[in-house]
Amino acid sequence: MNVHYWSSRVSRKYAFVIVALLSVLSVAPAWSAPILTADGVTGGFTLSMFANNFPITSSPCCGPLGIAFPTSGGVMVSDYGGNVRVFPTDTDGQNAASIPVAQNYGSGNGVGLAVAGGIVYMAEQSASQVVQLNNNGTLNQVIIGNPPGISFATGIVANPANGHLFVSDCCGGSGIWDVDPIAKTKTLFKGGSFDGLTITPDGSTLYAEQGGVIYGFKTSDGTQVFASPFINGADGTALGFGSLGGLIFVNTNFGDLFEVNLGTLGVTNLVTGGTRGDFVTADPNGSLLFTQTSDIWRLTPPSGGCIGNQCTVTVPEPATLALLGVAFAGMGWARRRKLTS
């Protein structure tokens, strides 16, 4: 979520002026809605809107960012203006303007959200802090305060292996930090400016965006084990599972969402035509929630696949597949045709 990169673009500068004028006239800005590409349709994906009408902070960039699923239910969403809301249900077609703000943390402080050990944590970019939230979105306590803080704390992900948090500095260059939320300590994991983070279910590999490239690092010693091709405006990331195993999904600042093959490094554009994208968050139901300028959209994969390490995909045993493969081949093709229609 590199705010400096986007705010430097002339076209965005003029967009800010338009938004300001429209707000005076009490008219909602008409942002472009993302659509599936031909590859997205062929792949069996579907696209729907989770929620719209989030407030936009025009200086420097953004609307909704962090998304988390509290143990008490619902969907917690932060935005760059510092607002935290909790949607009571995980259903599509909701209006953020109708959801009360639980608490405002100040401009630039509603950034990444993560859940570790059933507890929600949030990165505060402007304050350079990491805080713990209650399930209703209000402040519980400060975990890493400033000073010493974490400069431009932006991306945040829980390490399932030990309950720690990885927190990225998007713009100051201090790096990715390993935060122990219980001891309230931070240890440098990798130097540099990084953005969106995701991690494997066993906590062995951390993926992070830097300069349009998605890098993979061994969490045991920081050794680099993966580097994607350059993706213009790359930001948030999420891993695929089931039939989508071996893939990583990347949201971008330019309204596109890509699928990257971790083995072949092939890049496929699944969604296009949107506006600014930042983070992505895997829904426990197997879909992907990804942010746009003032909206959050849902990418639902075809049957047998899911996105994110919170979801569970039941894969039949090889023997069962062998016995049923021929009998269900026709049914499978018909189902795929239905999903892509």
Q: What is the DSSP letter of 89?
A: S
Query: What span, in angstroms and rounded, lies between the C-alpha atoms of 218 and 339?
Result: 37
ω before 301 within 30° of 0 (cis)?
Answer: no
* Each residue's pLDDT tens digit, 96-109: 999 999 999 999 99
Locate the domains of the chain by residue range: 3-316
Predicted TM-score (pTM) of the model is 0.83
Does residue 87 contact residue 94 with C-beta atoms inside 8 Å?
A: yes
Query: What span, in angstroms and rounded, lies between the C-alpha atoms of 321 and 195?
Result: 40
Architecture of domain 3-316: 6 Propeller (2.120)
Which pairing describes strands 94-95 and 46-52: parallel, antiparallel, or unpaired? parallel
* Each residue's pLDDT tens digit, 65-90: 999 999 999 999 999 999 999 999 99
Query: What would the two tokens of residue 257 be?
Result: 């969402």
What is the pLDDT tens value at each position of the chain, 341 positions in all? 654 444 433 333 334 333 333 333 333 444 679 999 999 999 999 999 999 999 998 766 799 999 999 999 999 999 999 999 999 999 999 999 999 999 999 999 999 999 999 999 999 999 999 999 999 999 999 999 999 999 999 999 999 999 999 999 999 999 999 999 999 999 999 999 999 999 999 999 999 999 999 999 999 999 999 999 999 999 999 999 999 999 999 999 999 999 999 999 999 999 999 999 999 999 999 999 999 999 999 999 998 899 987 775 543 333 333 333 333 344 343 433 333 33
The DSSP-derived string for 15-75 is HHHHHHHHHHTT----PPPPEE-HHHHHTT-EEEEEEE------SS--SEEEEE--TTSSE
Does residue 116 contact residue 181 with C-beta atoms inside 8 Å?
A: yes
Query: What span, in angstroms and rounded, lies between the C-alpha atoms of 257 and 237?
Result: 10
For residue 291, what are the contacts with CB-CB under 8 A and spacing of at least 6?
63, 64, 65, 67, 236, 251, 277, 278, 279, 280
Paired with 269 in beta bridges are: 258
Distances (CA, A) of 139 to 102, 136, 147, 183, 216: 9, 9, 19, 18, 32
